[in-house]
Amino acid sequence: MIVLETKNINKHFRNPIDFHVLKDITLSIDQGEFVSIMGKSGCGKSTLLYILSTMDTDYTGELHLAGKIVSGRPQKELAIIRNEHIGFVFQFHYLLPEFSVLDNVMLPARKLGKKSYKEIKQDAYDKLELLGIKEQADKKASMLSGGQKQRVSIARALINDPAIIMGDEPTGNLDSKNSENVFNIFKELSSQQNLSLLIVTHDKDFADKTDRIIEMEDGRIIS
């Protein structure tokens, strides 16, 4: 089953001069597939990821997510789609520093509002346990180490049981031991929970271990 699919996505940066950053991107990702995107700086891989994530809407072409067309929908609907179907992990951890770890993980589910507060809390504990940081649940997010924070943000990405997890260099800011950890978590999620993952990375070792590598150069997919 195809989770994410694009047809002929093109994007231009118009400021300061017209620059054709993405050229006819067509790709698809199956359920349970662990895909990495590689390429040099400036080849457009992050730009592509933000289009796929629905946060960037300034492009032409079609984007399908979980069987539905996403392109051209209003921002408000896109926010709901992101909330429900997409989990994010960034290079920097982006937790809300004043909230506890548990609150951070719970926020997207509380926004979705499909479960009661109690159920969400239980879910959040489960996700934190899955990532081995349950004992940090009541700490403030700002008190954790970098590796722990990244695991919290993975737990947050998982809270709404999304169709796909997207990561923009999620290990880019971590040491090798923590990188290894994060990779193993992703691998487990993909193989055991049949979750799709799309990770932009610079790290050749990381990419080599994924199911498929999409390589980009000058705004095109080359392999």
Partner 1 sequence: MTNYRVIFDITWTHLHTRLKQTSVAALGVTFGIGTFIIMMGFMTGLNGLLDGLVLDRTPHVHIYNEIKPTEVQPIQLDDAFVGDFNIIRNVKPKESLVRIHNALPLISELKKDKRVRGVTAQATARVFYVAGSIELNGIVNGIDVMDQVKLFNFGDYIIEGSGESLLKRTNGILLGAGVAKKMSLSVDDKINVSTPNGGVFPLKIVGIYQSGLAEVDNVQSYVNVKTAQQLLGEGSNYISDINVKLYDMGLAPEMAKELTKSFDLTAIDIQTANAQFETGTSIRNLITYAVSITLLIVAGFGIYNILNMLIYEKMNDIAILKATGFSGSDVKKIFVSQAIIIGFIGGLLGLILGFIGTVLIDHAPFETEAMPTIKTYPIDYNPLFYIVGITFAMISTFLAGYLPARKAEKIDPVEIIRGQ
Question: Which one, 14 or 223, has the nearer CB to partner 1?
Answer: 14
Closest approach, Cβ 98 to partner 1, in A, equals: 4
Closest approach, Cβ 208 to partner 1, in A, equals: 26
Closest approach, Cβ 79 to partner 1, in A, equals: 4
Q: Strands of 212-217's sheet, edge to edge? A: 86-89, 164-168, 196-200, 34-39, 212-217, 220-221
CA dihedral 55→50→93→153, nearest 10 degrees, is 70
Closest approach, Cβ 209 to partner 1, in A, equals: 25
Question: Which one, 40 or 184, has the nearer CB to partner 1?
Answer: 40
Q: Which residue has the tokens 């392109």?
A: 71
Question: Which one, 14 or 76, has the nearer CB to partner 1?
Answer: 76
Question: Which one, 82 or 151, has the nearer CB to partner 1?
Answer: 82
Rounded Cα distance between 9 and 59, Å, is: 7
Rounded Cα distance between 26 and 49, Å, is: 13
Closest approach, Cβ 186 to partner 1, in A, equals: 18
Question: Which one, 74 or 223, has the nearer CB to partner 1?
Answer: 74
CB 148 within 8 Å of CB 137: no
Closest listed residue to residue 54, CA positions, set 77, 34, 38, 28: 77
Catalog residues that contact partner 1 under the rule CB under 8 A.
Answer: 46, 50, 53, 55-56, 75-76, 79-80, 82-84, 88, 90-92, 94-99, 103, 107-108, 110-113, 117, 156, 160, 168
Rounded Cα distance between 29 and 5, Å, is: 6
